Amino acid sequence: PEHATPRPIQALPDQLISQIAAGEVVERPSAVVKELLENSLDAGSTQITVRLEEGGVKRIAITDNGRGIPPDQMPLALARHATSKIASLDDLEHVGTLGFRGEALASIASVAYVTLTTRTADAPHAWELVGSHLGTVTPSSGPTGTTIDVRDLYYNTPARRKFLKSEQTEYGHCAEVVRRIALARPDVAFTLTHNGRTVEHWNVSEIARRSAQILGDGFAGARLPLDETVGPLRIRGFVGLPTASKARADGQFFYVNGRFVRDKVLMHAVRAAYEDVLHGDRFPSYVLSLDMDPALVDVNVHPSKIEVRFRDSRAVHQCVFHAVQRALAATSATSHGNTPS
Ligand code: ADP
Ligand code: MG
């Protein structure tokens, strides 16, 4: 109220700052899954297991076989604004890792019970850290790699907890995040379990097979490969034939430098390329990766990094539009050629 005496200005305690940030960084269990998976990939893992309980609300435990964290750095991993991925503004402009903000683990640890167990290849055994960066690192056991076990998300912030949807809905979002990331990295094996049951397992393979596993046989039997390089841009992947289109936009996967994005420029370019072959009420299916020098794209737009900004969005639009259009045109030419007369 206006008449109340204003409080003096005070610096907020660390824990509270992380809890406020958590609202943006981890708005639901699937966001935790995304952050942990990105960390595992940044650590060079080739095998990642995601264990969920009760839609991720009760538990999210991710185990990888990446490079691990040396014991003396474990508290820093859970501290806010601490990262091994960038050290300067110049690094930020060329960032090649999925993470770089150094706030995910601190945010998660401020709104859930977290246990970090990790071992580097040269360590005689694993180490464990429970709770936060203030905890004590104790000896543990386990193979090289890292497990981050997150329990009871939002146990201490009931207002946020109330916004969570049903177990099935939260699980669905988590599984979608795993699919998005697994599609981008066929060179990594993924296992997903929910309430003790293995739901998905994808072995290391290549993109054609991984995309068939994740998008289904309907897509696998009706997709066109493309791979084009235009100046500094390389676009590759698969676009679905109109017969693989859907009534919902749930078969659309676009990656920029390995990062799943939903970007207006890219979606518009694809849509425009399909204009002649697809009805306006149908959604094309596709798995496309656009790669470029990291300096040409700003991924630091939002904490979730699902939005990006291109240095030259016109060039990006043209590159995507023409590549998709050419891929679609090539088949109609081929199929005409194949038609017996
Ligand atoms: P960021 O990924 O932006 O650096 P995080 O809070 O997600 O911030 O992680 C903090 C740091 O902890 C990382 O920079 C990395 O050094 C380390 N780390 C986190 N997860 C893993 C993991 N699975 N394997 C190895 N190191 C990890
Ligand atoms: Mg991270």
Global ipTM = 0.99
Nearest ligand to the C-alpha atom of residue 109: 1
The amino acid present at 124, given as its one-letter code, is: P
Nearest Cα residue to atom 7 of ligand 1: 104
Kind plus residue range of the DSSP H or E element containing 198: strand 197-202
**Residue at token pair 């289109």:** 245
pLDDT of residue 94: 84
pLDDT of residue 5: 82
Q: What is the CA(102)–ligand 2 centre distance, in A?
A: 6
**Residue at token pair 């809890």:** 19
Q: Would you tell me how many other CB atoms lie within 10 Å of the CB of residue 23?
A: 14
Name the residue of 24, 33, 39 to mutate for ligand 1: max ligand atoms within 8 A of Cβ.
Answer: 39
pLDDT of residue 3: 66
pLDDT of residue 273: 96
Q: What is the CA(314)–ligand 1 centre distance, in A?
A: 34
Please give the model's pTM, rounded to 2 decimal places.
0.92
Give pLDDT tens digits along the chain (341 positions): 566 788 999 999 988 998 888 888 888 999 999 999 999 999 999 999 999 999 999 999 999 999 999 999 999 999 998 999 999 988 888 888 888 888 999 999 999 999 999 999 999 999 999 999 999 999 999 999 999 999 999 999 988 899 999 999 999 999 999 999 999 999 999 999 999 999 999 999 999 999 999 999 889 999 999 999 999 999 999 999 998 999 998 899 999 999 999 999 999 999 999 999 998 899 999 999 999 999 999 887 776 668 889 999 999 999 999 999 999 998 665 544 343 33
As for ligand 1, residues whose beta carbon falls within 6 Å of it are 35, 39-40, 43, 64, 66-69, 77, 83-85, 99-106, 146
pLDDT of residue 336: 42
The torsion angles phi and psi of 286, rounded to 5 degrees, stand at -160, 155
Q: What is the CA(77)–ligand 1 centre distance, in A?
A: 6
Nearest Cα residue to atom 20 of ligand 1: 39
Nearest Cα residue to atom 11 of ligand 1: 77
